[in-house]
């Protein structure tokens, strides 16, 4: 059994009390609404209006061939993109590659280029990143669905200028574009100048685009098994064909968070992976949940101002930073643990602690740490997670756990697909459109107008 599972008994009132915990009746009462949302989502999928659902079944030959083609030609692959055009790539890289990937030698990277994601326009950070790259040996992937985003297009212009100065008309060899097939100025540039390009399919928004060339191209370039990833997503798709909340993991997860928010006042949802590899999955999910569900208007046009605030944390690091607040602070949070059962490496703690010799005044042993001897970091990290779960539950703080038997392309594909479906379904529960982002667009328009007004 290699599927991810959700344990949610600590969300229920018999574990955390009636004031904060849900009853099975709450879930049952939501079922008729869930069945209607399910029907609506299915019918939209069948009409091709929600193409993100079918991405697990695409042909990735072109992506794999291109990744193979550039493998020997470039030392570095740099994604220029922001938000949904960057977070999925970062999440995949952290989850499925060595945590020190860019520091490994080329042969340790199986010949694959280093991977950088420039998802900010901090001038210092961007300048410092460019300064360490051999521009001739670097391929820049300009990723923007709209093809107009100010941050990404300004990065592109800086990079273009530098490579053009270095290589003249051969600058095009160092740029590959991922954008809409027709819309946006980047598509126009790519078409008129003959740049190599990939397409973000119609109807797939940035934060739902990890399984398009937006996430798959950088992942394939960095040697990640993208077919395995899509297989995992397809497995989850099968499990998400049920309309029953209890049997459909995506609906179950969305319902638990939605009911905690609307019935129990849990306005904050914290995701805590107890695995460094999963830390950027919670960052990716933070954007998915926030940008999709934080909305002013309902589908009927009423002002509703809904949305639960997603917070990311990391076990065990944040046990020494956030957990005090989560266990004893305001009752405004619901916690999701991400737990890995089998880590890919076992790191044992030695049997014998350092013992100062008796003749130098040592006491003959370090009793306070001897309980660690012979155990492993694997045991310690999961026992610490159990401890946090215990403390939260004892203090009436609802929490659930997504369990990964192990981390591999399949389980990562499963969880990302599940969270996308959860978000689409939660849009139905909140009765808002989870696929737009009018609040972000407003800020984008302001920036363009302000720069136009500013004289040089």
- Contact set with ligand PA5 (CB under 6 A): 82-85, 144-146, 149, 152, 205-207, 291, 437, 440
Distance CA 376, CA 379 (A): 5
444 an active-site residue? Answer: yes
Of 309 and 396, the one with the shorter C-beta distance to ligand PA5 is 309
Q: Which of 320, 363, 452, 454 is catalytic?
A: 320
Q: Which residues contact 113 (CB under 8 A, 6 or more apart)?
A: 70, 71, 74, 75, 76, 77, 139, 221, 222
Q: Which SS3 state, helix, strand or coil, does residue 177 take?
A: strand
What is the closest distance, in whole angstroms, from the C-beta atom of residue 120 to ligand PA5 in the complex?
12
Residues 6+ apart with CB under 8 A from 344: 406, 407
Q: How far is the CB of 102 from ligand PA5 (least distance, A)?
A: 24
Q: Rounded to 5 degrees, what are φ and ψ at 147? A: 75, 15
Q: Which DSSP string do the residues of 64-116 spell out, in sequence order?
A: HHHHHHHHTT-SEEEEE--GGGTHHHHHHHHHHS-TTGGGS-TTTTTTPPEEE
* Both tokens assigned to 450: 């302000």
3-class SS of residue 246: coil
Active site residue 46: no
Q: Residue 23 or 148: which CB sits closer to ligand PA5?
A: 148
Q: What span, in angstroms and rounded, lies between the C-alpha atoms of 138 and 35?
A: 50
* 217/323 with CB nearer ligand PA5: 217
CB 15 within 8 A of CB 7: no
Nearest to 209, CA basis, from 140, 288, 152, 141: 288
Q: Is 389 tagged catalytic?
A: no
- The least CB distance from residue 84 to ligand PA5, in Å, is 3
Nearer to ligand PA5, 328 or 441 (CB): 441
From the candidates 7, 172, 183, 444, which is the catalytic residue? 444
Least Å distance, CB 153 to ligand PA5, is: 8
The residue sitting closest to ligand PA5, measured at its beta carbon, is 206
User: Which C-beta is closer to ligand PA5: that of 87 or that of 271?
Assistant: 87
Minimum CB distance to ligand PA5, residue 130 (Å):
20
User: Looking at 291, 333, 339, 420, which residue is catalytic?
Assistant: 291
Q: What residues are annotated to the active site? A: 291, 320, 444
């Amino acid at each position: 059994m290699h599927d991810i599972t959700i344990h949610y008994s600590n969300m229920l009132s018999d574990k955390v009390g009636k004031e904060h915990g849900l009853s099975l009746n709450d879930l049952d009462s939501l079922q008729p609404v869930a069945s209607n949302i399910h029907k609506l989502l299915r019918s939209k999928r069948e009409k091709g209006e929600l193409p993100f659902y079918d991405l697990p079944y695409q042909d990735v030959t072109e992506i794999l061939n291109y990744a193979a083609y550039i493998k020997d030609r470039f030392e570095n692959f740099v994604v220029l993109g922001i938000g949904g055009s960057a977070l999925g790539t970062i999440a995949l890289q952290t989850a499925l590659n060595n945590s020190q990937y860019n520091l490994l030698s080329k042969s340790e990277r199986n010949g694959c280029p280093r991977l950088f994601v420039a998802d900010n326009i901090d001038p210092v950070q961007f300048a410092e990143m460019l300064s360490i790259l051999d521009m001739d040996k670097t391929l820049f992937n300009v990723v923007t669905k709209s093809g107009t985003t100010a941050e990404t297009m300004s990065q592109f212009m800086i990079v273009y200028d530098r490579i053009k100065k270095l290589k003249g008309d051969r600058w095009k060899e160092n740029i590959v574009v991922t954008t809409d097939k027709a819309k946006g100025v980047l598509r126009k540039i790519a078409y008129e100048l003959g740049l190599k390009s990939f397409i973000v399919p119609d109807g797939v928004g940035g934060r739902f685009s990890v399984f398009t060339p937006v996430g798959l191209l950088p992942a394939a370039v960095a040697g990640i098994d993208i077919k395995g990833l899509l297989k995992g997503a397809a497995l989850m798709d099968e499990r998400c064909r049920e309309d029953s909340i209890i049997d459909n993991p995506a609906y179950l997860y969305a319902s638990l968070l939605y009911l905690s928010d609307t019935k129990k006042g849990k306005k904050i949802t914290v995701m805590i992976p107890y695995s460094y590899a999963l830390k950027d999955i919670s960052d990716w999910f933070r954007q998915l949940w926030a940008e999709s569900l934080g909305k002013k208007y309902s589908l009927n046009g009423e002002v509703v101002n809904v949305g639960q605030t997603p917070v990311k944390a990391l076990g065990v690091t944040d046990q020494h930073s956030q957990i005090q607040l989560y266990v004893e602070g305001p009752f405004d949070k619901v916690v999701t643990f991400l737990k890995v059962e089998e880590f890919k490496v076992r790191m044992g703690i030695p049997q014998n602690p350092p013992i100062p010799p008796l003749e130098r005044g040592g006491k003959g042993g370090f009793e306070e740490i001897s309980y660690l001897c012979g155990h492993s970091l694997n045991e310690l990290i999961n026992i610490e997670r159990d401890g946090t779960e215990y403390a939260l539950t004892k203090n009436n703080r609802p929490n659930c756990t997504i369990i990964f038997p192990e981390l591999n392309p399949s389980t990562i594909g499963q969880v990302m697909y599940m969270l996308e479906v959860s978000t689409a379904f939660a849009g139905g529960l909140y009765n808002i459109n989870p696929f737009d982002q009018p609040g972000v667009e407003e800020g984008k328009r302001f920036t363009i107008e302000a720069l136009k007004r500013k004289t040089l």
